[in-house]
Amino acid sequence: MRMAIPRTVREDFPIFRRRVHGKPLVYLDSAATSQKPRQVIEALVRYYEEYNANVHRGIYTLAEEATAKYEEARRKVATFIHARRPEEVIFTRSTTEAINLVAYAWGLHYLREGDEILLTEMEHHSNLVPWQIVASLKGASLRFLSFDEEGYLVLDDLERVLTERTKVVAVSHQSNVLGTINPVDEIVKRAHDVGAIVVVDGAQSVPHMPVDVQKLGCDFLAFSGHKMCGPTGIGALYGRYELLEAMPPFHGGGEMIQLVQLHTSTYKDPPWKFEAGTPNIADAIAWGVAIDYLCEVGMEAIRTHEKELVQYALNRLQEMAEVKVYGPRDVERRGSALAFNVADVHPHDVAQVLDQEGICIRAGHHCTQPLHRRLGVAATARASFYLYNTEEDIDQLVAGLQRVRELFSRVPR
């Protein structure tokens, strides 16, 4: 079959030259972190070899070049998610740090005793634990929207769980386990009706589909560079400018200040108010190059390619009676993270057998313990796809799972 993205895209990713246990690498763990194209790796080397200097302070040429490239990367990130202006993008370490930034800076300032924070039962721990901490500090409480048998959020329950006490709704755009794409635009409308702000965890959506913060209408969006062909250690928080202006800083230190006196300080405007200390210059710049790369391939093409792959995987896995797949079957309403179990074989055993075949999948709770408790299992195996995956990768996965079945059917139980 001819796919939305040609196989040749793999040639941009040096890691695919690698063999594992003598087999060609089959990488099916992009939901954990994506592989990096040569262009991104070269951008990192170029920064360190040609214009390594600190930003926002140097008067000399190297520092001016580094500052210009760093701020150019911010503009690329802002354009990619359709922010109204680059100043709505704060560089952070990751999605995790971006959510902590909102929870601490906004939450500690605005939440009051008796307020409620609405989350869902499918959140990654990074969109759950920070809210638990801040809620307990402020005397606020958490409420949860559940999901149904197919893995869709039960929106009818909004009637009950979304009230005038709700101050924050924090929801993932796409589940890293079930793959469900949540109807964020609808949730935003309902949340704004009761005066709550909406924080969207875009860790699994921004890398895989076109995302437009103006269309979504969300107040904050958190995402990570390393899941979208960029380096580790860089991510962003988008925030509506008026909200960022009204929020106190998260970290204090150098670079985020205007005037410092012994007892008080004034701060820069957003986003710099939220970027204390030396930022992750090299990785921000290389992330900008990753965004150029994704735009060249085209986000619509990436979404189409992944729909084709996940449809193919769902069809192939259906052939195996012992494989139970979790999450929606409708590829229009799901992304390409695909969690499953093979009869009663532990997912760690599944992953280990697949590793012998050069296949990388993730096994465990994928930082979503409450979701797994809801599913009634301690762990799942998960394959996840990206622009460089092919139907042959899925054929390899299925062949590997047949091997798992053979090996474990021989063990007396």
List, by residue number, the catalytic residues: 367
**Left if phi > 0, otherwise alpha if psi is -120 to 50, otherwise beta: which for 234?**
beta
3 state SS of 142 = strand
Provide, rounded to whole angstroms, the least separation between the CB of residue 380 and ligand 7TS. 11
How many residues line the site for ligand 7TS (CB under 6 A)? Answer: 17
Looking at the Cβ atoms of 88 and 201, the one nearer to ligand 7TS is: 201
Provide, rounded to whole angstroms, the least separation between the CB of residue 98 and ligand 7TS. 8
From 54-62, 138-146, 272-280, 362-370, span contacting ligand 7TS (CB under 6 A): 362-370
Q: Which helix H or strand E contains 45, and what residues bound it?
A: helix 38-50
Looking at the Cβ atoms of 51 and 91, the one nearer to ligand 7TS is: 91
Site string for ligand 7TS, 167-206 (x = CB under 6 A): -----x---x------------------------x-xx--
Looking at the Cβ atoms of 66 and 184, the one nearer to ligand 7TS is: 184
Q: Where are the beta strands (DSSP E) in 130-274?
A: 141-145, 166-172, 197-201, 220-224, 235-239, 257-260, 265-267
Site string for ligand 7TS, 226-265 (x = CB under 6 A): ----------------------------------------
Q: Any residues with CB less than 8 A from the CB of 201 and at least 6 apart, and which?
A: 95, 99, 123, 124, 126, 127, 170, 171, 172, 173, 222
Provide, rounded to whole angstroms, the least separation between the CB of residue 167 and ligand 7TS. 21
Q: What is the DSSP string of 290-353?
A: HHHHHHHH-HHHHHHHHHHHHHHHHHHHHT-TTEEE-S-S-GGGB-SEEEEEETTB-HHHHHHH
Site string for ligand 7TS, 108-137 (x = CB under 6 A): ----------------x-xx----------
- Count CB neighbours of 312 within 10 A: 20
Residue 95 makes contact with ligand 7TS by CB under 6 A: yes
Looking at the Cβ atoms of 35 and 95, the one nearer to ligand 7TS is: 95
Provide, rounded to whole angstroms, the least separation between the CB of residue 326 and ligand 7TS. 14
Tokens (6 digits) for 409? 């059917």
Q: Is 227 exposed, middle or buried (0-12, 13-18, 19+ CB in 10 A)?
A: buried
By the criterion CB under 6 A, which residues form the site for ligand 7TS?
31-32, 94-96, 124, 126-127, 172, 176, 201, 203-204, 224, 362, 366-367
